[in-house]
Amino acid sequence: MADIVITPLSPRDRDRWAELWRGYLDFYKTRLPPEIYEHTWRRLTAADRPIHGLGARLGSTTAPLVGIVHYLFHAHAWTTQEVCYLQDLFVDRALRRSGCGRRLIEAVAAAPRPVNVVVLGSTGRRKRITRSHDRSTTRSPGSMVLSATTTR
C-alpha cells in the first residue's frame, strides 16, 4: 500500500470531504441538511478556523481524501487551560485497519496549538497520548479526546 499522507483540507477536497463526512454521519444514523455541510466546510477552511480539519491521502498530497478528522480547542471546566477535542474521525471503509485513522489521530496530537492548551483524556486526567471513543450524550457520537501530558 502507498504511504499515508496527512494534509490540511483544501478547497479541491470539498466533494470528497462531504462524501466521507456523510459516511461518518450515516454510521451514527444522523442526517444533516445541506446548509450545515456548507457551514461546516466554511468553518474548516476559514483563515481563523474555529474547527480544524485534516485529510488522509494515499501516496501524495494531491491524491483524493481517504479519511478525515475534525478537531477544535475550547475552554474546559476542569482546568484553566484550553483543551483539544477530536470531534469527528472517519476513514473510507475500503481502507479501514490500514493505519489511516491512527495517522490522523497522531496528526491531531502533533498539531500546532494555541498557547496554554492541555490535552485531556476522556476521564479528565492528564496522561500519555490515548484514544477513547465516547458515545455518551455529552459529546457528539464517537468523538474522542486526546491526551498528551504526563501529570495528574
Q: What is the pLDDT of residues 70-118, one digit of tens each?
A: 999 888 888 888 888 899 999 999 999 899 999 999 999 888 776 666 6
Does 114 map to a domain? yes
Does 47 map to a domain? yes
Q: What is the pLDDT of residues 6-65, one digit of tens each?
A: 999 999 999 999 999 999 999 999 999 999 999 999 999 998 888 999 999 999 999 999
Residue 150 has pLDDT above 60, yes or no: no
Indicate which CATH number applies to the domain containing 125: 3.40.630.30
Q: Which one is predicted more confidently, 52 or 137? A: 52
pLDDT given for residue 64 in this prediction = 97
Q: How far is CA 86 from CA 3, 61, 63, 111, in A?
A: 23, 22, 24, 11
Q: Sorting pLDDT into bands at 50, 70 and 90, what band is 120?
A: low
| Sign of the C-alpha dihedral computed for residues 5, 10, 16 and 21 taken in this order | positive
Does 67 map to a domain? yes
Does 150 map to a domain? no
Going by C-beta distance under 8 Å and a sequence separation of 6 or more, which residues neighbour residue 83?
Answer: 73, 74, 75, 76, 117, 118, 119, 120, 145
Distance CA 95, CA 103 (A): 13
Q: How many folded domains does the chain comprise? A: 1
Does 152 map to a domain? no
Does 141 map to a domain? yes
Does 151 map to a domain? no
Burial of 24: CB neighbours in 10 Å, binned 0-12, 13-18, 19+: buried
State the residue range of the domain holding 62: 4-145
Does 98 map to a domain? yes
